[in-house]
Chains A and B, each alone.
Chain A
Amino acid sequence: NAGVTQTPKFRILKIGQSMTLQCTQDMNHNYMYWYRQDPGMGLKLIYYSVGAGITDKGEVPNGYNVSRSTTEDFPLRLELAAPSQTSVYFCASSGMGSGQPQHFGDGTRLSIL
């Protein structure tokens, strides 16, 4: 079972470049999330989606954009990469309802130089 798949696993960007982090899930989950994890810190929510066509900001959305055109995919876009966006990015998904556990991908390690 694939679960939540993130690509790429690693990426180095130059300041000002743009890129899209891909996330896809095969569990037919309505809810999907993007988090970032900085060294020694907990995960912080960037954006989330409760279904196709619906997205909303989390705790740290500045510098990022998302879209949700299908149930399976939830890409995260960085338009103008900045050194402060160097981090590990995790995508997660969960079923509907308040008691559902979140399932995580293996992460994308991104460095902005």
Chain B
Amino acid sequence: KQEVTQIPAALSVPEGENLVLNCSFTDSAIYNLQWFRQDPGKGLTSLLLIQSSQREQTSGRLNASLDKSSGRSTLYIAASQPGDSATYLCAVTAGANNLFFGTGTRLTVIP
């Protein structure tokens, strides 16, 4: 059974700092890996999707990497802003296009 773990569970950083969120998964037989953002009381917004054949994806200040063989992904956020405060979820796609989620990292960026 696929297990997805995210470390740390919570993180507070001062504005402007660069930061890294970590995600690990137990079964490397995945189609892709997605990073989502979730604001309180809201749904999930897809940030980046990395196909299993890719190593990384970039969107603005966000960069996600994937090492499928070791079961790891990182989300790098450059020059953090207070508006980046949210919970970040990692999920891998396996089986019949099913997503397996981690429990998330709650990020607070302090002005």
Contacts and interface: CB of A to CB of B under 8 A. Distances in A.
Contacts of B49: 99, 101
Contacts of B34: 101-102
Interface residues of B, number: 25
Interface string B82-110: 00000001010100111111111000000
Interface in B53-111: 89, 91, 93, 96-104
B46 interface: yes
B43 A58 contact: no
A42 B101 contact: yes
A45 interface: yes
A43 interface: yes
Contacts, number: 63
Interface in A13-68: 31, 33, 35, 40-45, 48, 50, 56, 58
Contacts of B4: 42
B46 A98 contact: no
Contacts of A58: 98
Given A99-B31, A101-B49, A106-B43, A48 B98 contact: yes
B7 interface: no
A94 B104 CA distance: 22
A107 B93 contact: no
15 contacts: A33-B98, A42-B4, A42-B91, A42-B104, A43-B99, A44-B101, A50-B96, A56-B96, A92-B44, A99-B51, A100-B97, A101-B49, A102-B46, A104-B43, A107-B42
Interface of B: 4, 31-32, 34, 36, 41-46, 49, 51, 89, 91, 93, 96-104
Interface of A: 4, 31, 33, 35, 40-45, 48, 50, 56, 58, 90, 92, 94, 97-107, 109
CB-CB nearest 9 A-B residue pairs? A42-B101, A98-B31, A106-B43, A104-B44, A104-B43, A43-B101, A42-B103, A101-B49, A101-B46
